[in-house]
Amino acid sequence: MESVVLDLQEHIAKKLNSYVELFGGSSNLFFGDFFAYHIRRIKRDISRLQKELNKFEKKYNLSSQIFYEKFNNNEFGDEKEFLLWAGIFELQTERTFFTKNLIS
């Protein structure tokens, strides 16, 4: 087993230790649950963002990937709806990349 040493301010270290105590003193259990919770939360976000992307894709009969490429090439205007679509696509892409790197 490997160790991780954190250089924390005293009040933060005490708070973290109290959280670990809530998990029976097992830092492995605490951090395992912590990461699992956040991975589940990010996956829910990705799913919710994908549902929004699906609405745009259906409305415009265009995949978000192709839309985004065209949007970045100024083939779409700066209408609010296109800015929203591009922003949602960026968030979904970023969260997907983050999750894949976190899990691997």
The per-residue pLDDT for 81 is 96
Written as six digits, the tokens of 50 are 């994908």
Report the 10 Å Cβ neighbour count for 17.
13
State the pLDDT at residue 7: 83
- For the chain, the average pLDDT equals 88
Tokens of 99: 């999750």
Residue 56's closest CA among 77, 92, 86, 93? 86
pLDDT for position 28: 74
Q: Does 104 have pLDDT greater than 70?
A: no
pLDDT digit string (tens) for 2-36?
777 778 798 888 888 887 787 777 777 777 788 88
